[in-house]
Amino acid sequence: MAALRWGLIGASDVAATRMIPAMRRLGHEVAGVGDPTPDWAATYAERNGIPFSGTVEELAARDDVDAVYISTKNEYHRDHTLLAAAAGKHVLCEKPLALSADDGRRMVDACEAAGVILGTNHHLPGAGTHSKVRELVAGGAVGRVLAVRVFHAVMLPERLQGWRLGSRAGGGVALDVTCHDAAVINPLLGALPVDLVALATHQGPWEAAAEDALMSTMRYADGTLVQTHDAFTVQYAPTGLHVIGSDGAIFATAVMTQDPIGTVVLRDASGEREIEVANRRDLYEISVGGFAAAVSGESERPVVTGLDGLRAAQVALAVRQAAESGERVVL
């Protein structure tokens, strides 16, 4: 697999703590960082040993950048993707891919027209635990899927308690957490929900303009029901994914995290047993490596494509709409 020369669009926490280390462990080069605030980009570059810093436009124009990783605030994802695609750069964009379905479609179409790869940096679908759950379901281990339950209620770290709690379009738990749920559920069930309802509230010890806790219920065309619990306010409960079927059930615990941890248990007529998960690779190495393989042609697609990211964003946006309106939303 060819190593990429990466440009970072966005001097972000997730880039510093997760993506830069993953890129470097895989032998990739972090060539530069561009940010809407160039002074911050310069400080960030010095802290992270990055040779170039400047504006987003300057970074996108560089000849020593093959691909960009976009982790600016959510409202910038569309414009920065369009800029990078126009400059001929492959794009790995943070979630949510976009703040509207129209914007997401523009991003997908622009990258396709420019002949560049667009991936979405949803880290969970590539995890060994989630791959194993999909394998079990596809192999008929639980029979017909009747219901899915997602527990993704966590405590938002103090260092991240900024724009995520704000009233701007990109804030709130739906776009920060529920979109991750959708990125897991969509490939698991092979479809989007047909309709959904949701309730949201404020629970945290902070001043928050956006929702910090919500629950949703989704219905699928084949009758499958899905429940999600997403929050920034839960300190002690484990995350998890349950798949309830006609012939069995899967209980995956501590799997909605950024780390390659968690267990997968199958319960059926023969009893209960833990399923071995052989792949415990770093989730961000999986994302970066899969993206690089798609760029080099060794793989047909990144782990999560731009279209996959658009579909996850559509579900999250619908959940937020349902919570705000108090009405059922039809997708």
Give the CATH number, domain containing residue 14: 3.40.50.720
Looking at the fold, whether 231 and 144 belong to one and the same domain comes out as: yes
Looking at the fold, whether 191 and 261 belong to one and the same domain comes out as: yes
Q: Distances from the Cα of 322 to the Cαs of 117, 210, 231, in angstroms? A: 32, 14, 16
- Bond before 96 cis per omega within 30 degrees: yes
Q: pLDDT > 90: what percent of the chain?
A: 92
Looking at the fold, whether 214 and 259 belong to one and the same domain comes out as: yes
Measured CA to CA, the distance from residue 307 to residue 259 in angstroms comes to 25
Looking at the fold, whether 111 and 177 belong to one and the same domain comes out as: no
Structure-token pair, residue 213: 């806790």
Looking at the fold, whether 271 and 298 belong to one and the same domain comes out as: no
Buried b / exposed e across 78-115, counting CB within 10 Å, b at 16+?
bebbbbbbebebbbbbbbbbbbebebbebbbebbeebe
Looking at the fold, whether 135 and 262 belong to one and the same domain comes out as: yes
Expressed as residue numbers, the domain containing 18 is 5-122+284-303
Confidence (pLDDT) at 167: 59
Average pLDDT over residues 240-259: 99
For residue 5, which of 93, 89, 72, 64 has the smallest C-alpha distance?
Answer: 64
Above 90 in pLDDT, residue 23? yes
Looking at the fold, whether 320 and 181 belong to one and the same domain comes out as: yes
Looking at the fold, whether 141 and 188 belong to one and the same domain comes out as: yes
Confidence (pLDDT) at 185: 99
Query: Mind listing the pLDDT tens digit for each residue in 163-197?
Result: 677 656 678 899 999 999 999 999 999 999 999 99
Looking at the fold, whether 201 and 323 belong to one and the same domain comes out as: yes
Looking at the fold, whether 294 and 247 belong to one and the same domain comes out as: no
Above 90 in pLDDT, residue 160? no
Q: pLDDT > 70: what percent of the chain?
A: 98
Above 70 in pLDDT, residue 1? no
Contact 299, 290 (CB under 8 A): yes
Measured CA to CA, the distance from residue 156 to residue 164 in angstroms comes to 9
Give the CATH number, domain containing residue 229: 3.30.360.10
Number of domains in the chain: 2
Confidence (pLDDT) at 157: 82
Provide the sign of the torsion angle of the four alpha carbons 279, 283, 285, 289, taken in this order: positive
Structure-token pair, residue 116: 């560049």
